[in-house]
Amino acid sequence: MMEWLGQFNYYVFAILMMAGIYVAMSRGNLVKKVVGLNIFQASVFLLYISSGKIWGGTAPILGDGLTQPISNPLPHVLILTAIVVGVATTSIGLALIVRIKEAYGTVEEDEIAEAEALYEEELIRAEEAEA
Amino acid sequence: MIEHLVPRILAKLLIPFILLFGLYVQFHGDFGPGGGFQAGVIFAAGIILYALIYGLDRARRVITPGLVAFLVALGLLIYAGVGVATLLLGAEFLNYGALDSHDPVHGQHLGILIIEFGVGTTVAAVMITIFYQFAGRLQITRELESDETDDEDGEEEEMTGSPQ
Amino acid sequence: MSVGEWEALINVVLLGLLLVVTFGIIRLRNLFGVVMLAGIYSLLMAMVFTLLDAVDVAFTEAAVGAGVSTILSLGTLALIDSRREKIPFRFQFTPMLVALVTGAVLLWGMQDMPAVGTADAPNQVHVAPYYIERTPVEIDVPNIVTAVLASYRGFDTLGEVTVIFTAGIGVMMLLSSMPVIGARRRRRRNGDDQENDT
Amino acid sequence: MMDWTVIASGVLVISGALLTIVGAYGTLRLPDIYTRLHAASITDTLATFLVLAGLAVPSLVAGEWLIAIKLLFVLIFLWFTSPIASYSIGHAAFFAAQKPKLDHDLTDAEGGTA
């Protein structure tokens, strides 16, 4: 009945995961990196939930006179907790970005590396001056 | 801070219903979609809305950061405490059937209700904490910047040291 | 058309919108826009979850992803005071290579997977029927997700709550100290001056 | 379930969906933020009313009052919140010194809707 769809959801999952990896790796801006990681994370959610679905089924809530098949509740449980944990860890990432901005005055990766190199250079210079 | 009259009035109307809906989702999670995770987030959203509209200081006066920090730990303790209680009652860790000596199914109901409450408490408190930290940071950074520039009189909000 | 076919059709449309929003996120440089698109992405994801019968998950995604997460991202943007990405969009070879290799491996691994939504897929016939049949007998709550989450896999959930607790403590530790603005920025400015002097 | 309930709910939902499309088109095509906001907020109020009414018809006919009452609450909530969202966006745009576009080709009547 549903042959024309096939593994469409899984293909979308693969594309979203590729997009997430690409954003997280290629963009220098830390906020954009975090958004990329979120896309990556949500693609995994999509994979799990898709694997639990039965076409024409219903949500795993029991009721009287239920005739349809029930979709698999187990992926729902795993992803439900993963979403809340995901936002908690994202907030840690955002807090780190805030601290980085305060310390370096920028959230661009290359500028941070530059500032760090200058800082280390200066430390070495100060040590040499002391010696 | 610009006075937003319309959102203020509407927030006054809506926040009680948001909190009520949070409680509904919390305790109706056995029967419909919902549970501790969702309820915690909804409850926290109500508090965050209050803080966004009436200002962080007033929100901190209503729900003090100390209370929130206490609740963060309390929720987890409730959850783990149920596990310890079932251990003491002679069953496995988190086997709620032991909570009611006559009817294990009723024990399961009770256990699920209690641990969902623990989950909801921790999630709500953590979300509120995270928001307080970010918003408090913003407030303090703004004050520091206005101290540095000194060309405009900063907002006359009392500074409470660390954004705890 | 049967109910299932309509579901599949709506599913395709929503996933298409999801892809469009994703490429918008990749291309856009305005960070405010990126955060807003991320919120839309979460809402679309919640709609897909509703369609795929995961109502609890959709509920959480809508409240967390589109609500709290967006507020936190906007707060971060206000704190870091950065409106635009510095570097414009351009093609980068290494990340693209990594992404393509990942995608190829995923597609290769997915060949053996059953089509989406088939009732006789392996994960529908082994563990799921156990929970669906035993829940009314052992737990007796209508919502199977709650039963599995809180009772069958209660230990797992305890771990998740601990992670959330730890994350809250982590944010508290990171952000509750008094800010030291530009601890390394000033050094950098000194460094620049010295370079100019020499 | 009788046939006319399907037709009635279908007509309501589809007209709501069409209004949403009109609103989306207006959001894209109108010249400045205030007129776009106008288009978007029409979608928020009338289109959601039509869609939710369409959803409520079958459950009302089947006598499931609880579902209809829940949908009513959703509607009330949306009617309270989405004008506030529009108000906040308009307010923010005004204080960010966004000037409405007053082209000389626009007549006063069209300017009034902005």
Where do the domains of chain B lie? 5-149
For residue C195, what pLDDT is reported? 43
CB neighbourhood size of D49 (10 A) = 16
Residues 6+ apart with CB under 8 A from D75: D48, D49, D52
For residue B142, what pLDDT is reported? 83
Mean pLDDT along residues B127-148: 86
Helix (H, G, I), strand (E, B) or coil at A58: strand
**Structure tokens, D15:** 């007209």
- Shared domain check, C73 and C129: no
List Cα–Cα distances, B57 to A110, A122, B51, D101, in angstroms.
38, 42, 8, 39
Contact B126 C167 (CB under 8 A): yes
Query: For residue C68, what are the domain limits?
Result: 1-86
Residues from chain C contacting residue A26 (CB–CB below 8 Å):
92, 95-96
Contact C181 B144 (CB under 8 A): yes
Among candidate residues A50, A24, A44, A131, the one with its CA nearest the CA of residue A85: A44
Residues from chain C contacting residue A85 (CB–CB below 8 Å):
160, 163-164, 167
- Shared domain check, C126 and C82: no
For residue C137, what pLDDT is reported? 86
Nearest residue on chain B to C181, alpha-carbon basis: B141
Domains, chain A, ordered by start: 8-55+71-103 (1.10.287.3510)
Q: Which chains have 3+ CB pairs within 8 A of B?
A: A, C, D
> Would residue C195 count as lying in a domain?
no
B76 has a chain A CB within 8 A of its CB? no
CB neighbourhood size of A71 (10 A) = 29
> Would residue C146 count as lying in a domain?
yes
- Shared domain check, C60 and C141: no
Among candidate residues C48, C39, C46, C47, the one with its CA nearest the CA of residue C21: C39
B5 has a chain D CB within 8 A of its CB? no
For residue D106, what pLDDT is reported? 59
Structural domain count of chain D: 1
> Would residue C98 count as lying in a domain?
no
DSSP state of C173: H
In this prediction the ipTM stands at 0.86
Contact C185 A115 (CB under 8 A): yes
- Out of C86, C108, C133, pick the residue that ends a domain: C86
Q: Which chains have 3+ CB pairs within 8 A of C?
A: A, B
Helix (H, G, I), strand (E, B) or coil at C137: helix
Residues from chain C contacting residue A73 (CB–CB below 8 Å):
128, 131-132, 144-145, 148
Distance from CA of A44 to the nearest CA of C (A): 11
**Structure tokens, C158:** 């305890």
B6 has a chain D CB within 8 A of its CB? yes
| Ranges under pLDDT 70 in chain A | 1-4
**Cα gap B104→C138, rounded to integer Å:** 8
- Shared domain check, C61 and C18: yes
Give the tens place of pLDDT for each residue, A105-121.
Answer: 888 888 888 888 888 88
For residue C12, what pLDDT is reported? 92
Residues 6+ apart with CB under 8 A from D47: D16, D17, D19, D20, D23
The C-alpha angle B102, B108, B111, rounded to 5 degrees, equals 110
Structural domain count of chain C: 2
**Cα gap D31→B107, rounded to integer Å:** 63
CB hemisphere CA count around D56 (13 angstroms): 16
Q: Does an interface of 3+ CB pairs under 8 Å exist between D and C?
A: no
> Would residue C54 count as lying in a domain?
yes
pLDDT at D109 over 80: no
Task: Find the range with the poorest average confidence among B87-91, B98-102, B118-122.
Answer: B98-102
**Cα gap C43→C66, rounded to integer Å:** 6
D95 has a chain B CB within 8 A of its CB? yes
Give how far the C-alpha of residue B144 lies from the chain's centroid of Cα atoms, to the nearest Å. Answer: 29
Among candidate residues B19, B128, B130, B121, the one with its CA nearest the CA of residue B71: B121
Quick one: CA dihedral A61, A49, C139, C129, positive or negative? positive
